[in-house]
Chains A and B, each alone.
Chain A
Amino acid sequence: DAMVIQNPRYQVTQFGKPVTLSCSQTLNHNVMYWYQQKSSQAPKLLFHYYDKDFNNEADTPDNFQSRRPNTSFCFLDIRSPGLGDAAMYLCATSRRQGYEQYFGPGTRLTVT
């Protein structure tokens, strides 16, 4: 089945230690998104890629960066995680912007 895969599902990192989360998709969608979701809140968009065209939201902290080496893969890098960065990180894809998005299962990040 075509899907969005996120690894790992659970990640523990130390305060200030860089961490990378990964996402892959078999849907062959053009657009990939990274969201941050904190408890009982709606997902908050961090970045999106339309093909190789990178777009970050105005309020995304500089501590967060992303890479999309090819159509299938996208990475979220957190350079110096703080306690406030503990959250669920969701990857999503869509055929085009403005179309429905399909989410992966998420990576739960814990910062100790």
Chain B
Amino acid sequence: GQQLNQSPQSMFIQEGEDVSMNCTSSSIFNTWLWYKQDPGEGPVLLIALYKAGELTSNGRLTAQFGITRKDSFLNISASIPSDVGIYFCAGPPIGADGGSQGNLIFGKGTKLSVKP
């Protein structure tokens, strides 16, 4: 079945640094979703991407839908302590008709922590 591979698995940030993470698949997607989960809370939708090449921002967050439709990137500029958490990419698989259908597939997440 379709899988989403996220990298890096974990990373440490220092306040003020820019952060980049990505999500790749061997299959194409029509939609890419980025969620953030704080400890003890449910995932919160950050950005949704619907078109190849699309670049969308949400405050200090910017995400891109890769041209090949097999990857997506999330960048965080000028990180702050509250950016720590787990970031998940997700997307609905593509059915035989080429449309998005079925339930979301999730990556395993990228864990952001503060540098000691």
Q: Do A and B come from one complex?
A: yes
Indicate if the CB atoms of A97 and B43 lie closer than 8 Å: no
When the two chains form the complex, which single residue of B42, B90, B100 contacts A90, counting CB atoms closer than 8 Å? B42
Q: Which of A4, A43, A106 counts the most B-chain CB atoms under 10 A from its CB?
A: A43
How many of B's residues come within 8 Å of A, CB to CB? Answer: 25
Can you list, as one digit per residue, whether each of B70-111 has a CB less than 8 Å from chain A (1) or not (0)?
A: 000000000000000010101010000001111110111101
B107 touching A105, Cβ below 8 Å:
no
Residues of B within 8 Å of A42, CB to CB, are 88, 106-109
A33-B45 contact in complex given A106-B40, A108-B40, C-beta closer than 8 Å: no
Residue on A with the closest CB to B42? A103
Q: Which residues of B contact A88 (CB under 8 A)?
A: 40
Q: Which B residue's beta carbon lies closest to that of A6?
A: B42
Asked if A97 and B41 make an inter-chain contact with CB atoms under 8 angstroms apart, the answer reads: no
If A98-B92, A101-B104, A106-B42 are given as contacts, then 19 extra A-B residue pairs at C-beta distance below 8 Å, sorted by A number, are: A4-B42, A6-B42, A33-B103, A40-B111, A45-B104, A48-B103, A88-B40, A90-B42, A97-B103, A98-B31, A98-B100, A98-B101, A99-B100, A102-B45, A103-B42, A103-B43, A103-B45, A105-B42, A106-B40
